[in-house]
Amino acid sequence: MKKYIILLAVTVGIIGGMLIFPEVAEAKVPEVQVVTMQDLPYTETLIVSGTVEEIRKKELTLQYPVVPGEILAEVGDTVTYGDVLATVDTEATKQAILSYAAQYSDSLPEDLIPDQLQTVLAAVDGDQVFEALELPTEILAPASGTITSLSLHQGELFLPQTAAATISYMDSLQLRLSVPEKDISLISPGQQILFTATAIEGGTFAATVRRISPTAYQQLNGLSYETVVDVLATVEDDFDVLRPGYSVRAEIAYGEEEILHLLPYEAVLQDAAGQEYVYVYREGKAWRRDVETGVELSTSVAVTSGIGAYEKVILNAADVKADGAVKIRTGE
């Protein structure tokens, strides 16, 4: 009787195991997500840096040294041709010129002041020194636009070695880009540029290459110098937020447009020999497929050969250890 009881128990255990085994086996089958390759039009781009500057500007140069009396304008002001930027303190100017000439006559640059002024400075009578000169009483704007630099200071002698002011036409801006000499052959007038400005968060602007400098020069890049060529590009629309002097990062597209077939990085694996591969999903199973890749983007990589455009590829490839049964993850 005991034999029958033991036999019955074993039989029931075997049958129970047979019923449970498929569930255990099913639990070990990897759950996967599948994707297909996504197409993206793509063109090679060159990344360069540069600055925003005015296309047109007018520098105010003075014929004689002057001492400004009252400063009537400041950087950022919009002026019209002929507007008074500053008055000239004539008496202070005469005294300052005579004092400067007396102190530095030996080291005074020959081209600092006109020959006419140098001649009268040699006169013995100081009252007669400036009779032959036409010292201005006012300093006027040489053009209409926005003042982008002003070197005049009230009561201080200004020497005409540099521009007293710069008037810029802010309605037309350009980029001055520094392009490494090895890449300059990739650029030609008329190319479109997309760029961002460091000072403006989240804004993308457009420009068009207008001119390429005929000469190159050395520019410090980190701890070493590199040879670069200036490329000028006209800004299409500054949206009233770009300013001369802003730093920019520009992308210049070149070459023929191509279509990239992209897969997320997590779908592509690499074996110990360096061979890249994916797992293709077909009829409930995963099958390894060796592939070749090309352009790498921020979240995906272009597949150049190995799989078809509409084949299903397992996204979470790392969860698959070998060819075999898999099941599609549900509830996501």
Q: Where are the domains of the chain?
A: 28-42+258-328, 45-55+171-253, 62-162
CB 295 within 8 A of CB 330: no
CB 38 within 8 A of CB 300: yes
Of residues 245 and 104, more confidence is placed in 245
Summarised one tens digit per residue, pLDDT across range 42-78 is 988 999 999 999 999 899 999 889 999 999 999 999 9
CB 191 within 8 A of CB 209: yes
Do the domains 62-162 and 28-42+258-328 match in fold? no
Q: Is the pLDDT of residue 226 over 70?
A: yes
Q: Is the pLDDT of residue 114 over 60?
A: yes
Mean residue pLDDT of the chain comes to 85
CB 28 within 8 A of CB 137: no
Q: Is the pLDDT of residue 5 over 50?
A: no
Report percent pLDDT > 70 for the chain: 81
Q: Is the pLDDT of residue 19 over 50?
A: no
Q: How far is CA 108 from CA 8, 113, 304, in A?
A: 122, 9, 71
Q: Is the pLDDT of residue 271 over 70?
A: yes
Summarised one tens digit per residue, pLDDT across range 194-206 is 999 999 988 899 9
Distance of alpha carbon 37 from alpha carbon 257, whole angstroms? 18
Instruction: Report whether CATH 3.40.50.2000 matches the domain 28-42+258-328.
Output: no
Task: Please report the pLDDT score of residue 4 as a whole number.
Answer: 47
What is the dotted CATH code of the domain comprising 62-162?
2.40.50.100
- Which tokens sit at 134? 């036409």
At the second CATH level, the architecture of 45-55+171-253 is: Beta Barrel (2.40)
Residue 188 three-state SS: coil
Summarised one tens digit per residue, pLDDT across range 291-303 is 999 989 889 999 9
What is the SS3 assignment for 9-43? HHHHHHHHHHHHHHHHHHHCCCEECEECCEEEEEC
CB 80 within 8 A of CB 144: yes
